[in-house]
Amino acid sequence: MSKAVSALNGATVTGFARVTDTGCRGMITLRGAPEVLTRVATAIGLPTPDTLHMATKEGLAVGWMSPDELLVLCPYEDAPALAETARGAAGKDHALVAVVSDARAVIRVEGEKADEVLRKLTPANLDAFEPGMIRRTRLAQAAGAFWKPDANGFEVMCFRSEAEYVFGLLENAAQKGAELGL
Amino acid sequence: MSHRLDGKGRLIDRSKQLRFTFNGKSMTGYEGDTLASALLGAGQSVMGRSFKYHRPRGVVAAGVEEPNALMNLGRGGRFEPNQRATTTPLFDGLTATSQNHWPSLDFDVGAVNDMAARFLPAGFYYKTFMFPRFAWKHVFEPFIRKSAGLGQSPTEPDADRYEHAYHHTDVLVIGGGVAGLTAARAAGAGGAKVMVLEQTAHWGGRAPVDGGEIDGTDPETWVNSAVEGLENAQNVTLRPNCMGAGVYDHGYVLGYERVAETTPGDGRPRHRLWRIRAKQIVTATGAIERPLSFPGNDVPGVMLASAVRDYVVNWGVAPGKRTVIVTNNDDAYLTALALKAAKLEVPAIIDVRPTLMGPLAEKARKAGIRLMSGKALVGVKGKKGVTAVMVSDLEGKASPEAIDCDCVAMSGGWSPVVHLWSHCGGKLTWDDHEAIFKPDPTRPPLGADGQAFVATAGNASGAMGLAEALADGHEVGRQAAKAAGGTLTRKAAPKAAETERQPIKQVWIMPTSAGPDKRMKMWLDYQNDVKGSDVQLAAQEGYQSVEHAKRYTTLGMATDQGKLSNINGLAVLSDALGQPIPQTGTTTFRPPYTPISMGAIAGEARGPLFQPIRRTPMHALHETAGAVWEPVGHWRRPFCFARTGESDHEAVNREIVNTRENVGMLDASTLGKILVTGPDAGKFLDMLYTNMMSTLPVGKCRYGLMCSENGFLSDDGVVARIDEQTWLCHTTTGGADRIHGHMEDWLQCEWWDWKVYTANLTEQYAQVAVAGPKARKVLEALGGMDVSKEAMPFMTWHDGTLADIPARVFRISFTGELSYEIAVPANRGAELWEKVREAGAEHGIQPYGTEAMHIMRAEKGFIMIGDETDGTVIPQDLGLHWAISKKKEDYLGKRAQERSFMASPDRWQLVGLQTLDGSVIPDGAYAVGEGRNANGQRNTIGRVTSTYYSPTIRKGIAMGLIHEGPQRMGEVVDFATLDGTGTVIKAKIVDTCFYDKEGAKADV
């Protein structure tokens, strides 16, 4: 039985939006040529996402990271087995498959004005952002990424070591009364 | 005397009285007041002392251009200096004090400077304080610092919070006056996404005060309906209280929003810095009225004509009871008429123009005002307030007539606010008819596509009339929408009309024949106390460039950046140089438009959010254990684990002795871990490292060095061969991101056809080093893997399950002891740490920190990147020839290392150093040799790179780079101490390895 503990260990705060640690998440970095990535994604059961997009199905997702990199999101326990599937699908072709579940933290920002929390921290254009997209960016001084799993919230990903900093940023930005009023 | 008028003031709410204090004195104002209007309303017209001469000064303007009424606001953690009273909204409980006075505003000792003004001309500091040289630091500077300066520095941390916000828009309109609103409407109608910034709390700019007619109604009614329309438009965002502070390349604009200035302590951010990306920027920033330069134009009560009518109309405050108007254009007549309408006296309008025939002059005549044409104001009576003015002919030859008054409203014409147009290189052109520098639309700021990305609208374009301004705003808004991807709206521009104006007459000083005595009393730059005589002197002394003259005289260098003084100053300079104004040109306009708070710039980056602090999975455990922290890059690592009553030094020594005698554990999670895989990975690593990595067998580890292409040692670490195509490269803690970037740089830019992928897995693993003679026993107690010498010899690794945690165990040693490094998934790092501690308890395990690690490696003679290297050191300097492959054709740095200087035997070489008296050589000490250099300093023959007290051999040990060091084994060299006494510490050159040279202890 895994006793894995996420960096933020379930922390949550509520301001004008709710900021919550989503716990341990399975993640696999895939690098390869487009056709190899497509084959691997298919083996996992998902289509290759378009640029800046994410393909999702029942707890699984594949996000676009760069022209030669995808990120698989899955339940934490499933990552090692899924990585084996990916390695199998890549076969002898040149590819990199690495489990990175523990290298990251995923924080949910939820609420009607969840976007305003992010608008204070990322230079990415939130007005051009829709569900089904994923954006690698920075959050103040930390590298990060975010996506919109549903209409009511965002998931923000950052490095594990910077989880407290990013959670602090989100908490600070979500303080009541500091809505942007756009 | 200034006073509040009954029943007037479009911006104030008389039902809401607010209390505030000025220099400790309790006063009242109304909601909607600025601090300046409230002070004037309370009869306080002297608001500060000037910078250089400490002359009493009153408010001159009503907006951002104010040079005089600068205040210290708030107290303690909310103290802020240099705040303009004219843009500070009044709130209940506001505290303000005037600046630059001692002991009091009424009586100021520094005013003696004023009497000595003749001896304090431009460039005085440069000329006087240069010699003798020592005197500047010890005599002049302390004295000047004490007597000069505007506001005081805050002494406490800022009590408020601040934030940033990012925004993306098609069209950004800066300025919410009628031209800006018109531009926004036109851009919005063209389908563009529009944002409008307005620096004040009110829309419409000057139009509601200045009058006229827009679309058949008065400007205020029109503004209200225009704003309502924009508020209802889905594609338009209005942002009052938000100043466009700067325009930068790529359509980047900073907006400075004052969110909660009037409600300190309500928890909201005080200021918000908007970081905006706009496809098109429209600057509808209006115009600023210019003062006139006449003797005594800085006496409190002398104000801009537009400001006088603003105070009357907007805040129901009369700056004086009897106001004399002095002007060179028609605009000041509006002030005369506004004062008359408020039943205030206007004894005369002094107009430099010879004939006054226009409709505004007619209106003034009808209102019973005496018009004095072709006249100049040649003197002002009064010190802390105007008592009378002296009027003569334009040249000042006729004997002057005195007119009693307590206020002077002056107008020298209007200057378009071209700052934001100019920030990114928009050029200006001189319009001699209007006497203005205005934007030249044929030379706009250009974006990355070579197209204009800033346009001006309204007065800012030089369209000075209401009708022209609105037509301009509409057209600019239409075109901005089109340029940003929208369409050209077919809606028509608003129709406007106003009273016809007569042309301005350019008079830059009055009287025009003023000699030095009069010019010495003509203030050009109020805030920096620069006078007409100073600019003239600069010209005489050869300062022809306006930029040089500015710096010599300090004209326009104060916190207002010359908003009032700029054009007047360069007109006076042009006159002194005998050249037309456009030939003199302007100084450079730089952001921010007005000062913005440091807090807004910092945003959330303060306190715990100042910088990201990187924490390992065991961080909380270390904290509980009382770790003394050390920053390593953004990481925090335990320096040592001091026990109660133990000094850090004692703790470090204990940790080392325990590790050497029993067993220690170290959080090594921060070490960089980069996965390199692919058919060409071996070839790639052979290029990156100085030694061979392609030949490393699977399951084995090898220490390697990485150099830059210039040959300098850049990073080091142990590489593990994972499978046929895969290597795991350990880097230094600080090197992980840098080396990953270095790898990607070479792969993407140089060797793009090599089949190699990398991934930075540093954070995927928590890593614990278990080191010491009893290390194996601890791992055996953890259980699950065979860690015997036979199963896992030195410099090998194995995957397995240790203490029920999936783990990769490396047999590597940085301490010289029997040592394992255990890597587990980071989410189980804390669990592993606890389990190691429990399993090691019976073997006396103790955690050790980075300092113990550093000392133990130094005892072994292992180098440390950043200690033994500093960007100028090559591996050969460090005696690391064994780690440099002779067989390889090439590696990064090889060519550079073969160059004559790099191969020179004169390069300082690494050796061990043992002090004769057992003391510790100071860090950074130099080894001194015979003789002295050209500067009379002792010649150096080497330097210390690492120096510690070694608890293992109980002596000071060090490593250092010494000239011909390895050939001088056993010799004694002198290290200069750093205390300036000239004494030396004697140290013997020895081998770099002080402990277990055979390596027997690690290989058991």
Q: State whether A40 and A88 are in the same domain.
A: yes
Q: State whether A98 and A109 are in the same domain.
A: no
Q: What is the 3-state secondary structure (H, E, C) of B390-410?
A: EEEECCCCCCCEEEECCEEEE
Which residues does chain B have with pLDDT short of 50?
none
Among A96, A125, A163, whose Cβ lies nearest the Cβ of B757?
A96
The DSSP annotation for B558-613 comes to: STTTTTTTHHHHHHHHHHHHTS-HHHH------S-SS---HHHHHTT-SGGGSSPP
Positions of CATH 3.50.50.60 in chain B: 162-287+416-497, 291-412
B208-B209-B214-B220 Cα dihedral, nearest 10 degrees: 20
- Residue B51: predicted pLDDT: 78
Would you call A96 and B677 a contact, using CB atoms and an 8 Å cutoff? yes
Nearest CA in chain A to B259: A178
- Residue B100: predicted pLDDT: 72
Would you call B193 and A127 a contact, using CB atoms and an 8 Å cutoff? yes
Would you call B277 and A125 a contact, using CB atoms and an 8 Å cutoff? yes
The CATH class given to the B507-579 domain equals mainly alpha
Would you call A100 and B611 a contact, using CB atoms and an 8 Å cutoff? no
Tell me the nearest-neighbour CA distance from A36 into chain B, angstroms.
Answer: 13
Q: State whether A50 and A114 are in the same domain.
A: no
Cβ proximity of B733 and B667 under 8 Å: no
- Residue B557: predicted pLDDT: 87
- Residue A2: predicted pLDDT: 58
* Assessment of whether the complete model's pTM goes beyond 0.80: yes
Nearest CA in chain A to B766: A102
Q: Is residue A180 part of a domain?
A: no
CATH of the domain at A85: 3.30.70.1520
Cβ proximity of B153 and B592 under 8 Å: no
Would you call A140 and B266 a contact, using CB atoms and an 8 Å cutoff? no
For residue A99, which residues of chain B lie inside 8 Å, CB to CB?
764
For residue A177, which residues of chain B lie inside 8 Å, CB to CB?
266-268
Q: How far is CA B517 from the centre of its chain?
A: 42
Q: Is residue A6 part of a domain?
A: no
Q: State whether A133 and A71 are in the same domain.
A: no
Q: Is residue A159 part of a domain?
A: yes
Q: State whether A139 and A114 are in the same domain.
A: yes
Q: Which of B211-217's residues contact partners 24+ apart within 8 Å by CB, and which partners?
A: B211/B334, B211/B498, B212/B466, B212/B496, B212/B497, B212/B498, B212/B499, B213/B496, B213/B497, B213/B498, B214/B178, B214/B466, B214/B470, B214/B494, B214/B495, B214/B496, B215/B494, B215/B495, B215/B496, B216/B495
Q: State whether A82 and A65 are in the same domain.
A: yes
Would you call A96 and B758 a contact, using CB atoms and an 8 Å cutoff? yes
Residue range of the domain that includes A167: 12-23+103-173
Among A4, A6, A120, whose Cβ lies nearest the Cβ of B165?
A120
Q: Which of A102, A122, A140 is the last residue of a domain?
A: A102
- Which one is the CATH code of B619-669+764-856: 3.40.50.300, 3.40.50.720, 3.20.20.150, 3.30.1360.120? 3.30.1360.120
Domain count, chain A: 2
- Residue B186: predicted pLDDT: 98
Would you call B609 and A3 a contact, using CB atoms and an 8 Å cutoff? no
The per-residue b/e assignment along B308-325, b for 16 or more CB within 10 angstroms, e otherwise, is bbbbbbbbbbbbbebbbb
ipTM over 0.90: yes
Would you call B165 and A119 a contact, using CB atoms and an 8 Å cutoff? yes
Q: Which of A40, A69, A102 is the last residue of a domain?
A: A102
Question: Which tokens go with B761?
Answer: 């897995």
Question: Which tokens go with B861?
Answer: 């003679």
E-assigned strands of B149-267? 162-174, 194-197, 213-214, 236-239, 242-248, 252-258
Q: Is A113 on the interface with B (CB under 8 A)?
A: no
Tell me the nearest-neighbour CA distance from B294 into chain A, angstroms.
Answer: 48
Q: State whether A123 and A57 are in the same domain.
A: no
- Residue B124: predicted pLDDT: 64
Cβ proximity of B847 and B838 under 8 Å: no
Positions of CATH 3.30.70.1400 in chain B: 672-762
Fold of B3-115: Ubiquitin-like (UB roll) (3.10.20)
Rounded to whole angstroms, the Cα distance separating A45 from A74 reads 12
CATH of the domain at A119: 3.30.1360.120
Q: Which CATH superfamily is domain B291-412 in?
A: FAD/NAD(P)-binding domain (3.50.50.60)
Among A3, A99, A159, whose Cβ lies nearest the Cβ of B828?
A3
Positions of CATH 3.10.20.440 in chain B: 3-115
For residue A166, which residues of chain B lie inside 8 Å, CB to CB?
612
Q: What is the mean pLDDT of each run of 10 residues along chain A (182 residues)?
A: 86 98 98 97 95 95 97 97 97 97 98 97 96 96 96 96 98 97 88
What are the backbone dihedrals phi and psi of residue B84, each rounded to the nearest 5 degrees, phi first? Answer: -75, 125
Positions of CATH 2.40.30.110 in chain B: 894-1004
Architecture of domain B162-287+416-497: 3-Layer(bba) Sandwich (3.50)
| Average pLDDT value over all residues in chain A | 96
E-assigned strands of B59-102? 70-73, 80-84, 94-98
Q: How many CB atoms lie within 10 A of CB B901?
A: 9
Q: Is residue A59 part of a domain?
A: yes
Q: What's the full length of chain A, in residues? A: 182
Tell me the nearest-neighbour CA distance from B748 into chain A, angstroms.
Answer: 12
Give the three-class secondary structure for B248.
strand
Nearest CA in chain B to A123: B166
Cβ proximity of B287 and B464 under 8 Å: yes
B326-B71-B207-B333 Cα dihedral, nearest 10 degrees: -10
Q: What is the CA radius of gyration of chain A?
A: 16
Rounded to whole angstroms, the Cα distance separating A161 from B128 reads 57
Would you call B193 and A165 a contact, using CB atoms and an 8 Å cutoff? no
Among A8, A36, A102, A146, most B C-beta atoms within 10 A, so best to mutate, is A102
Among B757, B808, B831, B832, most A C-beta atoms within 10 A, so best to mutate, is B757
Within 8 A by CB and 6+ apart from B52, the residues are B113, B120, B148, B528, B529
Question: Which tokens go with A47?
Answer: 């289509």
What CATH code is assigned to B672-762? 3.30.70.1400
Rounded to whole angstroms, the Cα distance separating B191 from B856 reads 69
Residue whose token pair is 């290989």: B1003
Among B609, B621, B756, B765, most A C-beta atoms within 10 A, so best to mutate, is B609
Q: Is residue A182 part of a domain?
A: no
Q: State whether A98 and A116 are in the same domain.
A: no
Among B614, B828, B830, whose Cβ lies nearest the Cβ of A162?
B614
Tell me the nearest-neighbour CA distance from B198 into chain A, angstroms.
Answer: 15
Q: Which of A102, A121, A145 is the last residue of a domain?
A: A102
Q: State whether A35 and A47 are in the same domain.
A: yes
Q: Is residue A83 part of a domain?
A: yes
Q: State whether A96 and A114 are in the same domain.
A: no
Q: State whether A69 and A33 are in the same domain.
A: yes
Report CA torsion sign: B516, B519, B521, B524: negative
What CATH code is assigned to B894-1004? 2.40.30.110
Q: Is residue A44 part of a domain?
A: yes
Q: Is A125 on the interface with B (CB under 8 A)?
A: yes
- Residue B314: predicted pLDDT: 98
Among A161, A166, A167, A170, most B C-beta atoms within 10 A, so best to mutate, is A161
The per-residue b/e assignment along A9-45, b for 16 or more CB within 10 angstroms, e otherwise, is eebeeebbbbbbbbbbbbbbbbbbeeebbebbbeebe
- Residue A1: predicted pLDDT: 43
- Residue B595: predicted pLDDT: 95
Amino acid occupying residue B846? Q
Would you call B827 and A24 a contact, using CB atoms and an 8 Å cutoff? yes
Rounded to whole angstroms, the Cα distance separating B99 from B303 reads 20
Q: State whether A163 and A107 are in the same domain.
A: yes
The residue among A111, A132, A115 whose CA lies nearest residue A124 is A115
